[in-house]
Structure 1
């Protein structure tokens, strides 16, 4: 597949490395004969390809993202592929500074400031905002089919009860905004204490901003209150921030639950560590 796609773009490749921590596509970092570094990205499905393609057009000029150098719409063997420029740097970590956390807040708020354009026809990215609670519920109960096979019956029933109870306490949704749906450190690139931008748009929607804080909090903001405070300051410098204390408990709970279902779908053995982390999180909420 790699050779097949490389030929479509006419690349003269010197070396190739597959990128880790990419869960909805196969990504290769390619060093070309002329010394340039580019990325080849092959989404798992045609829908993910369409979403990503539309995202580059929507985000271009508003938010820092890789440059879309070229794309191929695929064939019977391949759902499509992208040729992308390199964002200099490495993924965000909990060791990064409050100054970086502030910039992450600015980046996310700029993305959330993007609203659906009147008359724009999209075939990949859906506007879920008008039926937001239904969208969240469908995701939860879809994963519940998989979670049922992992949890004992008593714990599973407690989780369902907890979900039904917590959803009643949510405020009105905030949007419609462009939401990443996978806004986590692995998808935020930092170079020399500056945020270079963000990557990976296979899961994007128009929806409520409330869903987009969970993974960032789980994997970055929760480690240090100074990061959390600086991030909020950065976000608020661009647009109002919803009351995270009201929405984070619900979305942290559903993230742990849905992630258990995700591990079942993607393979329990190869995702054993992530599964264990989320089982621990879920039990903390329920027990």
Structure 2
């Protein structure tokens, strides 16, 4: 039986139409229009660990942040890893230019996530706690992707990257946390309506860790593209909680993000992700050339 049909049957849905949701990299997501004209989403993560994590986090955050409501849950079988049935939020992922007002609101909502203090139950849950071994976690993540990066980039650039990583890792400030960190906080996972944030989605990579890694993708996709957004974001963020000195940590995390993203492209298919690969390769080259000059 078709995998999606299995899930539809499990959730007892009367379906009118099904649309694939693009730009979902760690799950298969479908937009489902029901006979009664209601819209819901089916999310089928690539692993049961990701399924359990998102299930846990959505339940934990539902009263703290604007997140999808979990309408149903299926733990899966031998063929399907399991699935979540999620409510629709009246908004769309950010695809247009981000202005000052929206950047401020993104800062507010990001800080709302970071301000949630993990409790004793959270530390016992499926959410991985890496805060106490933060440096080791960054190192493990970097070197796991290094195996893939090594097969893609010039050997001299590879060795230069490893050298830079080891040197800068020792210069990082004390980590800010422990906090819930999204790990994929980017425009595609921020839903907006009428230029305001109405939802945050995709929590299958959440960890309890240090907040500094969580600024990497909005720096890449918003701050570096739209002048003035970083300052506006900072004001919004600081209306909720203090913000670390971004300038002290962003260069290092932007570098590791570019390096790790090259490894991610290798794992997921170089041809399919060629544009993203070249973007990160160009950044890595420029960054190391500048930092060593």
Q: Calculate the TM-score normalised by the size of structure 1.
A: 0.98
Q: Any conservation in 2 of the 1:115–1:206 contact (CA below 8 Å)?
A: no
Residues 123 and 129 in structure 2, CA contact (< 8 A), matched pair in contact too: no
Cα offsets for 1:155-191 (capped at 9, x unmatched): 1100101111111221000000000000000000001
Kindly provide the CA deviation profile for residues 105-157 of structure 1, in whole angstroms up to 9, marking residues without a partner as x: 11110100112212446442111100000000000000000000011211110
- CA distance in structure 2 between the aligned counterparts of 1:90 and 1:170, rounded to whole angstroms: 36
Q: Distance in 2 between matches of 1:75 and 1:51?
A: 17
- The whole-number CA distance in structure 1 between the counterparts of 2:143 and 2:188 is 27
Matches within 5 A, 1:169-248: 169-248=171-250
| Aligned-partner Cα distance in 1 for 2:157–2:39 | 48
Q: What is the count of residue pairs matched by the alignment?
A: 287
Contact 1:50 1:123 in 2 (8 A): no
CA RMSD of aligned residues (A): 1.1
Once the two structures are superposed, the pairs formed by residues 69-80 of structure 1 within 5 Å of their partners are 69-80=71-82
CA–CA separation in structure 1 for the residues paired with 2:218 and 2:95: 10
SS at match of 2:208: strand
- Supply the distance in 2 between the matched residues of 1:255 and 1:48 (Cα, whole angstroms): 21
CA–CA distance in structure 2, aligned partners of residues 35 and 96 of structure 1: 31
Match of 1:282 among 281, 284, 291: 284
Residues 226-276 of structure 1 deviation map (CA, whole Å, 9 limit, x = unaligned): 211111100000000000000000000000000000001111111111111
Distance between the aligned counterparts of 1:30 and 1:100, measured in 2?
28
The ranges of structure 1 where at least 4 consecutive aligned residues each deviate by more than 2 angstroms after the TM superposition are 119-124
| Greater CA drift, 242-251 or 226-235 | 226-235
Q: What displacement does 1:193 show?
A: 1.4
Deviations along 1:26-69, whole A, 9 cap, x unmatched? 00001100000100000000110011011111111101111111
CA–CA distance in structure 1, aligned partners of residues 113 and 60 of structure 2 = 10
* Runs of at least 5 residues in structure 1 that lack an aligned partner in the other structure: none
Distance 2:91 2:199 in 1: 9
CA contact (8 A) 1:257 1:278 kept: yes
C-alpha distance in 1 between matches for 2:78 and 2:277: 34
Selected match of 2:255 from 229, 238, 253: 253
Q: Is the 8 A contact 1:182 1:215 kept in 2?
A: yes
1:44 corresponds in structure 2 to 46
Distance 1:274 1:137 in 2: 23
